[in-house]
Structure 1
Amino acid sequence: MLDNHQKNIATFIHLSTFTRFFIPFGNFIGPIVLWIANKDKSEFIDANGKQAINFQLSIFLYAVILGTLTIPFFIFKVLNGLDFVDFHGFHDFHINMSKPSPLLYLGGFLGALAIIAFIVELVLIVIASLKAREGQVYKYPLTINFLK
């Protein structure tokens, strides 16, 4: 039987991921500290802690992959008119926004996808917190189980 203390700790583990808005890497530090301090007290707390940490690690991995794909498209567009052999080519350097490159569209699409994924992440964290408060373990979608 779960008591309110266990439900509160599990809820705070999920909500502690929002500390990233105040502390760098707070989305990892907060859940890990709460999970390590309380994982031996209950299997429910342990399961929720693992889910929250696995989700944050998965989101970080997806963000690195998406950033790795997106950033080169913008760099190639900006440096398109720059000649790397002629170091005096800066006098002709200009950014032409009248004819956007298809790479710029693809990069913009990937950037918009990142914004949508961020909003979905926030919603999933709130859902997981509410489920933990109800005494349920929420399984985040598209989560890689780093901690088992």
Structure 2
Amino acid sequence: MVTTADKTGATLMQISAFSQYIFPFGNLIFPTIIWSLKRKESEFINENGKRIINFQLSLLLYFMILLIVSVPIILYNIFNGIDVMLLDDGHWVEEQFTVGRITGIAIAAIVSIILLAALKVIEFFLILYAAVKNSNGEVYKFPLTIKFIK
């Protein structure tokens, strides 16, 4: 039997992931704190805590992979067309500055940026959906989640 206190605790734990918009890594820190304080009191909170932490760790991994792929590609495309020369009076001059050509590499970078933005939007709505499910006494299973904590 899931009590009202369990539902409230699990919902608060889900909503605490939104603290990422105020504190860096708040989406991991605050759910972990709530989960570690309440996990022995309620199996419902324990199960939902594992799920939100696993979901946030999975998203962190996906974001890191996308950043590792997209940032070097973007920097390469930006600096690809720049020729820099040093004049006699010590001033740097940029010649032939172009944004670059649209290539397969540039398209890969654009797709990576779009995926990063899409993941953030999806994360926002999945957290809200999980909070609603928890407030109704249901355990929500996040999609695309790697089980770091079993």
Asked if these proteins are the same fold (TM beyond 0.5), I'd say yes
Compute the TM-score of the two structures, normalised by the length of structure 1.
0.90
Partner of 2:33: 33
For residues 148 and 42 of structure 2, the distance between their equivalents in structure 1, rounded to whole angstroms, comes to 20
Partner of 1:18: 18
Runs (4 or more) in structure 1 with deviation over 6 Å come to none
User: Alpha-carbon deviation of 1:71?
Assistant: 0.6
Aligned-partner residue type, residue 39 of structure 1: R
Aligned-partner residue type, residue 114 of structure 2: A
User: Alpha-carbon deviation of 1:81?
Assistant: 3.1
Compute the TM-score of the two structures, normalised by the length of structure 2.
0.89
Partner of 2:45: 45
Task: Decide which structure has greater strand share.
Answer: 2
User: Alpha-carbon deviation of 1:82?
Assistant: 4.7
Q: Is the 8 A contact 1:78 1:95 kept in 2?
A: no
Partner of 1:106: 108
Gaps of 5+ in 1: none
**CA deviation vs aligned residue, 1:17-63 (integer Å, no higher than 9, x gap):** 00111112111111000000000011100000000000000000000
User: Alpha-carbon deviation of 1:115?
Assistant: 0.7
Aligned-partner residue type, residue 133 of structure 2: K
For residues 94 and 8 of structure 1, the distance between their equivalents in structure 2, rounded to whole angstroms, comes to 60
Partner of 1:79: 79
Gaps of 5+ in 2: none
SS at match of 1:91: strand
Partner of 1:126: 128
Q: Is the 8 A contact 2:81 2:98 kept in 1?
A: no
- Alpha-carbon RMSD across the aligned residues, in angstroms, is 1.9
User: Alpha-carbon deviation of 1:102?
Assistant: 3.3
Q: Within the alignment, does 1:63 sit opposite 2:63 as a pair?
A: yes
Aligned-partner residue type, residue 8 of structure 2: N
For residues 107 and 30 of structure 1, the distance between their equivalents in structure 2, rounded to whole angstroms, comes to 32
For residues 39 and 143 of structure 2, the distance between their equivalents in structure 1, rounded to whole angstroms, comes to 22
Aligned-partner residue type, residue 79 of structure 1: F
For residues 76 and 64 of structure 2, the distance between their equivalents in structure 1, rounded to whole angstroms, comes to 19
Identical residues among aligned pairs (%): 34
